[in-house]
A and B are shown apart, each in its own frame.
Chain A
Amino acid sequence: MTITKDICEKLSDNVIVKMSLTDIDYFLCLYNRYEIKLLRYIKRISGASDEQAKDILQESFIKIWQNLNNFNQRLKLSSWIYRIVHNETISCWRNNMSFGKDHQVQLDDNFIDNFFLDLELDEYKHQNEIHTHLILEQLPIKYKTVLVLRYMEEMSYNEISNVLKIPEGTVAARINRAKSNFIKIASINQFSF
């Protein structure tokens, strides 16, 4: 059976999960719904290339497929999916020294063009956003993650807590520390917002 885009759009996340358990084609709906967001998230937290991000996403979706029976309906599906993708990204990031670790951010035009082209942010390509992303690249991954989830993925503390599997209080504390680090790096680099 072919699942069209129209059919997918009418279904809620939880219904798609239920249908996917019996019909693998419904799993496409899930993939289509989250693909762009998740690719963007992977690249933001790991600095992975387009190809690497796609590989990570594919591995993540295989894990999502394998563990679909473990999805708890009390949790938002997006949080659960982000959690799996986050873990897979961190795992790849740790194993793969070619991106993320010791990554030097260059302030050349090519880098900036590629960065924002990937993120479909061309129209917002002004100084503040460039500085924001350059600072994020220099932050430790745990701080970068919470800032990305909070201010770019626009998640609540509860959702971040569910993605990272840490208490909400820890999320709040980590965001505060991340902000302090962000400000420090901004002042060192003499970026103003």
Chain B
Amino acid sequence: MKKTKSIIDKIKEENIKQKPKWYFVLSKILNLLTFIICMLIGSLSFSVILFSIQQTDFDLISHMSHSRIELFLSLLPFFWITVLLIFLFGAIFIFKKSERGYKYPLYQLVVLTTAISFLFGTLFFIGGGSHWLENVFAEKVNFYENIHEKKMIMWMRPEEGFLSGTIEKVSEDEMQLTDFSNKKWNVNYKDAYIHKIVFIKKGEKVKLIGNITQGNKFLAKEIRPWNGKKKQNRGRNRSNKNIGD
């Protein structure tokens, strides 16, 4: 009984106070908010990764004469993959530290947080949030290499058969194209496969697969829209040309 007295005496003498209830409630709310923010940022990152995959033609890497692994790695959105991983780990860590978080095994938390961020990330992507976020970063963050810059790495290789740029002039079988380094090209697209959502008209940005025939002359075998390649399988030859622009 002597020792118990001394504990109570110590508490009284040193005026040791109980932490108030609001302190714990606030701490729990802050933890919850941090968890939600981590999940939100993780979801946004995943949506930009999806956007990046949609915008980058990974299927063409196998046709490249350049080192495939090197090219593949240069096209991966490392920035967003890193952000996704950091915030997923952050969310898992915060959840683990929550009142009942320790009850869940790590693998369950990894699966749960990944599934949530993938679900919301896909919704953001469908809603166009990823495009918006990518643009914001491209404009505001100096070191950020945006998806378009990565795409240019892929599509500014005319000697390897990949060319991109803006259509300047269109005639029956040929068009004039200015690439992103302002070089002018005469493109023959007589036998080219043109994807359904591509409109061959002045001002349209396109991606071409083919080969250089001579100097600045390019023979196109396939024409894709600059922004993604949706509904690729429904393409057809030359049927949607808007000639005369």
Chain A residues with a Cβ under 8 A of chain B:
21, 24-25, 27-28, 31-32, 35, 54, 58, 61-62, 65-70, 72, 161, 165-170
In the complex, how many angstroms separate the beta carbon of B11 from the nearest chain A beta carbon?
A: 6
**Can you report 7 residue pairs joining A to B where beta carbons are below 8 Å apart?**
A21-B18, A31-B4, A32-B4, A58-B10, A70-B19, A72-B99, A169-B105
Main secondary structure, interface of A, reads: helix
Is the pair A69, B18 in contact by a Cβ cutoff of 8 Å? yes
Would you call A24 and B7 a contact (CB within 8 A)?
no
A139 CB to closest chain B CB (Å) equals: 23
Known contacts being A27-B8, A65-B11, A69-B24, is A167 close to B103, with CB within 8 Å?
yes
Residues from chain B with Cβ under 8 Å of A66 in the complex: 16-19
Closest to B28 in A: A70
B143 at the interface (CB under 8 A from A): no
Contact partner of B7 (CB less than 8 A), chosen from A58, A72, A166, A170, is A58
- Provide the bound-state CA to CA distance between A131 and B17, in Å: 45
Given contacts A27-B8, A28-B8, A167-B103, contact A68 B18 (CB under 8 A): yes
With A69-B19, A167-B104 as contacts: A25 and B3 at CB distance below 8 Å: no
Binary flags per residue of B1-13, CB closer than 8 Å to A gives 1, else 0: 1011111101110
Closest to B20 in A: A69
Q: How distant is the Cα of A65 from the Cα of B8 in the complex, in angstroms? A: 10
Q: How far, in whole Å, are A72 and B102 apart by their CA atoms in the complex?
A: 15
Q: Interface size bucket, B side? A: 20 to 34
Q: Are A62 and B7 in contact (CB under 8 A)?
A: yes
Give CA–CA (A65, B7) in the complex, Å. Answer: 10
Q: Which residue of B lies closest to A166 (CB)?
A: B102
- Set of chain B residues within 8 Å of A170, measured between Cβ atoms: 105
B16 engages A62 (CB within 8 Å): yes
Contact, CB under 8 Å: B11 / A62: yes
Write out the residue numbers on chain A whose beta carbons fall within 8 Å of the beta carbon of B11. Answer: 24, 27, 62, 65
User: In the bound complex, what is the Cα–Cα distance between A25 and B11 (angstroms)?
Assistant: 11
**Chain A nearest CB, measured from B30 CB (Å):** 14
Residues of B within 8 A of A54 (CB): 3
Give complex CA distance A161, B5 in Å.
32
Within 8 A of A (CB), among B98-117: 99, 102-105
A69, B21: Cβ atoms under 8 Å?
yes
A6 CB, nearest partner CB in chain B, Å: 14
Least CB distance from B86 to A in Å reads: 24
CA distance A28 to B103 in the complex (A): 31
Q: List chain B residues, Cβ under 8 A from A69.
A: 18-21, 23-24
- Contact, CB under 8 Å: B103 / A161: yes
In the assembled complex, the Cα of A25 lies from the Cα of B7 at a distance in Å of 11
CA distance A166 to B8 in the complex (A): 32
Q: Enumerate chain A residues within 8 angstroms of B23, measured Cβ to Cβ.
A: 69
Q: Which residues of B contact A165 (CB under 8 A)?
A: 102
Q: Is the CB of A70 within 8 A of B24?
A: yes
Q: Chain A contacts of B19 at CB under 8 A?
A: 66-67, 69-70
Beyond A27-B11, A35-B3, A167-B103, 7 additional contacts (C-beta under 8 Å) are A24-B8, A54-B3, A65-B11, A66-B18, A67-B24, A70-B24, A168-B103
Please name all residues of chain B whose beta carbon is closer than 8 Å to the beta carbon of A58 when the two chains form the complex: 3, 6-7, 10
Contacts of A21 in B (CB 8 A): 18
